[in-house]
């Protein structure tokens, strides 16, 4: 008599997240992937984890300001490499905008993602500008849906402010790298607090280079994250 043992096929870790929404994978446009090789390493990793789509979000602010042409050229080159290497992932581009007065001048030409014209925005890490609400209001008035990048990383973001952002209806995006302690304990605790509260709309890596792959892989196993997988909006972007 023959006995067949069922081989256990591991389920890729990000199969329930499916869409990666915050990263700097486009080669040579900001402080992210420096070369095509680095970008491809990151793409292979996401494919291995079970992602089906990656939204690249290069920085757009007065200090790092790649032109539309630079972003498009980098995107086209990476897309053709993805096809050549047969990586089963669809790549699109949006951006990560700094909330600064100059952001208003970019309206209505912001790079968005998803059905609700989501715009990924970040704040200064050390000081909350007094006019942050005004700029969010301007974005909403222009029918964008601002998504706040890594609320857990801001030095001044205490629990009261995290609650304020959530109650104001601002979708919050936490970084996987925060859960892996890449930015210190304060960010770990704030990210865990947001997960516990159920206030996280999107999960992203914010990966800049392949050296961060082990940390992102580790974060994908975080217990609290696994518990909350069904509450993230990432799959709505497929």
- Give 20 or 96: the residue with its C-beta nearer to Fe ion: 96
Closest-approach residue to Fe ion (CB): 206
Number of residues lying near Fe ion (CB under 5 A): 2
Give least dist CB 96 to Fe ion, A: 5
Stretch near Fe ion under the rule CB under 5 A, chosen from 30-38, 94-102, 107-115, 127-135 = 94-102
Of 51, 18, 24, 8, the C-alpha closest to 237 is 18
Find the distance separating the first CA and the last CA of the chain, reported in whole Å: 47
Contact between residue 162 and residue 199 where contact means Cβ atoms under 8 Å apart: yes
Give least dist CB 122 to Fe ion, A: 7
The neighbouring-strand residues paired with 170 are none
- Give 113 or 160: the residue with its C-beta nearer to Fe ion: 113
- Give 21 or 136: the residue with its C-beta nearer to Fe ion: 21
184: left (phi over 0), alpha (psi -120 to 50) or beta: left
How many Cα neighbours within 13 Å face the side chain of 25?
Answer: 30
Stretch near Fe ion under the rule CB under 5 A, chosen from 41-49, 75-83, 88-96, 133-141 = 88-96
CA distance 100 to 151: 16
Give least dist CB 209 to Fe ion, A: 12
The neighbouring-strand residues paired with 207 are 23
Show the tokens assigned to 25: 């994978």
If you ran DSSP here, which 8-state letter would residue 20 be given?
A: E
Enumerate residues 183-222 that contact Fe ion by CB under 5 A: 206
Stretch near Fe ion under the rule CB under 5 A, chosen from 4-12, 89-97, 166-174, 193-201 = 89-97
* Of the residues 96, 100, 152, 192, which one makes contact with Fe ion according to CB under 5 A: 96
Give least dist CB 24 to Fe ion, A: 6
- Give 152 or 206: the residue with its C-beta nearer to Fe ion: 206
CA distance 165 to 104: 20
Enumerate residues 110-169 that contact Fe ion by CB under 5 A: none
- Give 20 or 206: the residue with its C-beta nearer to Fe ion: 206
- φ, ψ for residue 121, nearest 5 deg: -125, 145
Show the tokens assigned to 204: 């992203």
Which spans of this chain sit near Fe ion (rule: CB under 5 A)? 96, 206
């Amino acid at each position: 008599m023959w006995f067949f043992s069922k081989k256990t096929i591991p389920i890729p870790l990000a199969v329930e997240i499916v869409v990666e929404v915050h990263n700097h994978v486009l080669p040579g446009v900001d402080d992210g992937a420096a070369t095509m090789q680095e970008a491809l390493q990151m793409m292979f990793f996401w494919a291995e984890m079970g992602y089906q789509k990656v939204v690249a979000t290069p920085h757009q602010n007065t200090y790092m300001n790649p032109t539309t042409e630079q972003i498009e050229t980098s995107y086209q080159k990476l897309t053709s490499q993805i096809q050549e290497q047969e990586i089963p992932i669809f790549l699109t581009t949006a951006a990560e905008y700094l909330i600064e007065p100059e952001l208003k001048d970019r309206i209505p030409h912001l790079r968005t993602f998803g059905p609700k014209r989501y715009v990924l925005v970040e704040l200064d890490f050390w000081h909350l500008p007094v006019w942050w609400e005004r700029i969010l209001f301007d974005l909403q008035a222009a029918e964008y849906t601002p998504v706040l990048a890594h609320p857990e990383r801001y030095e001044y973001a205490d629990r009261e402010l995290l609650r304020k952002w959530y109650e104001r209806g601002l979708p919050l995006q936490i970084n996987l790298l925060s859960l892996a302690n890449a930015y210190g304990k304060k960010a770990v605790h704030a990210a865990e607090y947001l997960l516990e509260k159920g206030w996280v709309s999107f999960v992203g890596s914010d990966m800049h280079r392949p050296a961060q792959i082990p940390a992102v892989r580790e974060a994908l196993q975080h217990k609290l994250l696994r518990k909350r997988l069904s509450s993230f909006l990432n799959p709505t972007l497929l």
